[in-house]
Amino acid sequence: MGAYLKNEQEINLSILQEKVLNSPFYKSKLKSMNFYSSIKDVPFTLKDEIRKTSKYDLLAVDKRLISHFHESSGTTGIPTTSWYTKRDLETGGKEIAVSGIKLNDNDLVLIRFPFSMFVPAFFVLHAAYQTGAGVIPASSRNTVTPYPKVLELMTELEVTVFAGIPRELELLAETARQLSINLKESFPHLRGILVAGELLSPRRKAYLEGVWGRPIYNLYGSTETGNIAKMCEYGVLHLSEENYYLEIYEESLKAEKAVGEVGVAVITTLTNQAAPLIRYVTEDLVSIHPSKCQCGSSHLEVRHYGRAKDCLTIGDKTIGLYELQEAIYSLDQVPIAWKVRETEDGMNIVMQYSEPVLLLKGVIQEHYKKNNIPGTITLSLDETLFDTSTLLNNEISRKPVYIEKRK
C-alpha cells in the first residue's frame, strides 16, 4: 500500500504549507498545517470545492507574478480554473520537451490544441521556445484554421511534429480522405505526433499510428495540475515525480489502492507556484506501475483509464471509456464517430461510417462480447452523429461526448 514514491516520507509539509497557505482557498480550508504530521492526514481537495471557490481564491502568488489564467473544458458544465506563473508554464513545457518526441531546433510544430482557455497549447509553445523548435499556431475551435487549411499548412510548411487532441487526428484523417490526400505520403517531413486532452487507450493509439504511419506520444495532466506524466520513446507514460506526488484511492476515498490497481488519482503539486494543490482528487482513473524503462527512466509508469464519472455499471460489471475504446478501435472497420447510450440492461452503441461498409451486426456484437463489454448490446448503424461534410467548411470543431448515461 501507498509507498509510490521513494521519498514519500520526505515530502516537506512545511514547504508545502508555506506555498498552499498563500492562497485564500487553502488558508480557509486548512487553517494551519502544523497539526499534520504526514501528508496522509491532510484533507482531500475536491473538484467541487475548486469549482465553488472564486477564481482568485486559488491564487497563491502576488498578482504581479501571474502569467496565465486557464480553465478546463467544463464537460460537466462548470469549469475548473487554474493560474500559472511563467515558471509553471516553463515546467509544463520542459516535460514535453524531454518526452519521447524530443523536440529540437530542426522541428516545426503545428499546434492544433486550442489557443484559448485550455493550457496544452501553451505548454507546447514553451517546449518549443526551450528547444528552439518553431511553431505554427493552427488552433482548433476557431474559423481561421479549418481542417483543409491545416492539411495544407502541414504539407507546405514541412511540419515535423503535430500536436493536438487525438480526435483531431481522426477528423484530419477523414478530411484527407475526402480530399484524396494520402496521409502516409503527403507529409514526408512529419516525424511524430504529440497528443493530450483526451483518453488514448493502447488500441486507439495503435489505430491512429496505423492511420498516420507515425509514432504518437501521449501526455497526461489537467488544467488544474499541469503535465503529470509524459510518454517516452518506448510508449511508457512516466510520472513527473519531481513535480507531482501521486496517490491512488478507491472512489469513496476511504482506502488507498495498491500498486497496479486502478483507482482515482489524487495529486499534490510539488513545484507549482501560482495555484498549488494538495491532495487534489482529479476524478481520473489511473494505475501506477514500477518502471525500469529502456529509455533510462525509473519514474513510475502511469496508466490512464478515463474519468470515473463516465463509467457505466451493467450488472456487476463496471466499464468506462477505456474498455469502450479498446473494443471500438480493435474493430476491423473503425467508425468515424461513435457514441454509447446506456440502456436498461446494457448499451446501445451508435457507429457512424463515412463510407459504405459491409457490417454484420452479429459479428460486431460478438466482437464486443469478446472484448468484455457486458450486458445487452444493441447497435445503431444508420444514425448521424456528426456531419462529415462540415469538415470541408469553415465549421468549428468540438470534442465529442462518447458516453451518454441514463437520466
Of 97 and 324, the one with the shorter C-beta distance to Zn ion is 97
Amino acid at 306: G
Of 171 and 231, the one with the shorter C-beta distance to Zn ion is 231
Span from 12-20, 104-112, 125-133, 228-236 in contact with Zn ion (CB under 5 A): 228-236
DSSP code per residue over 37-50: SSGGGSPPBPHHHH
Of 209 and 342, the one with the shorter C-beta distance to Zn ion is 209
Integer angstrom CA distances of residue 102 from 192, 226, 279? 10, 19, 31
Residue 49, classified by CB atoms within 10 Å of its CB into exposed (0-12), middle (13-18) or buried (19+), is: middle
Smallest distance, Zn ion to C-beta of residue 20, A: 31
Amino acid at 87: R
Of 42 and 236, the one with the shorter C-beta distance to Zn ion is 236
Contact 98, 91 (CB under 8 A): no
Does residue number 232 form part of the binding site for Zn ion (CB under 5 A)?
yes
Does residue number 215 form part of the binding site for Zn ion (CB under 5 A)?
no
Of 19 and 299, the one with the shorter C-beta distance to Zn ion is 299
Of 232 and 277, the one with the shorter C-beta distance to Zn ion is 232
Sign of the torsion angle spanned by Cα atoms 9, 11, 15, 16: negative
Span from 30-38, 122-130, 226-234, 275-283 in contact with Zn ion (CB under 5 A): 226-234
Smallest distance, Zn ion to C-beta of residue 296, A: 7
Smallest distance, Zn ion to C-beta of residue 238, A: 6
Span from 20-28, 232-240, 347-355, 381-389 in contact with Zn ion (CB under 5 A): 232-240
Residue 132, classified by CB atoms within 10 Å of its CB into exposed (0-12), middle (13-18) or buried (19+), is: exposed
Q: Cβ contacts of residue 147 below 8 Å, gap of 6+?
A: 171, 172, 175, 391, 392, 397
How many angstroms separate the CA atoms of 250 and 312, rounded?
Answer: 16
Of 70 and 230, the one with the shorter C-beta distance to Zn ion is 230
Does residue number 101 form part of the binding site for Zn ion (CB under 5 A)?
no
Does residue number 193 form part of the binding site for Zn ion (CB under 5 A)?
no
Smallest distance, Zn ion to C-beta of residue 221, A: 17
Span from 75-83, 157-165, 245-253, 295-303 in contact with Zn ion (CB under 5 A): 295-303
Contact 225, 278 (CB under 8 A): no
Of 218 and 268, the one with the shorter C-beta distance to Zn ion is 218
Does residue number 102 form part of the binding site for Zn ion (CB under 5 A)?
no
Residue among 101, 92, 129 at smallest CA distance from 240: 92
Q: Cβ contacts of residue 61 below 8 Å, gap of 6+?
A: 22, 83, 85, 273, 274
Does residue number 293 form part of the binding site for Zn ion (CB under 5 A)?
yes
Grid cell 516525424 — which residue? 191
* Among 16, 236, 248, 314, interactor with Zn ion by CB under 5 A: 236
Of 232 and 377, the one with the shorter C-beta distance to Zn ion is 232
* Number of residues forming the site for Zn ion (CB under 5 A): 6
Smallest distance, Zn ion to C-beta of residue 234, A: 5
Does residue number 153 form part of the binding site for Zn ion (CB under 5 A)?
no
Smallest distance, Zn ion to C-beta of residue 129, A: 25
Residue among 238, 246, 187 at smallest CA distance from 211: 187
How many Å is the Cα radius of gyration of the chain?
A: 22
Contact 184, 209 (CB under 8 A): no
Does residue number 78 form part of the binding site for Zn ion (CB under 5 A)?
no
Residues in the site for Zn ion, rule: CB under 5 A? 232, 234, 236, 293, 295, 297
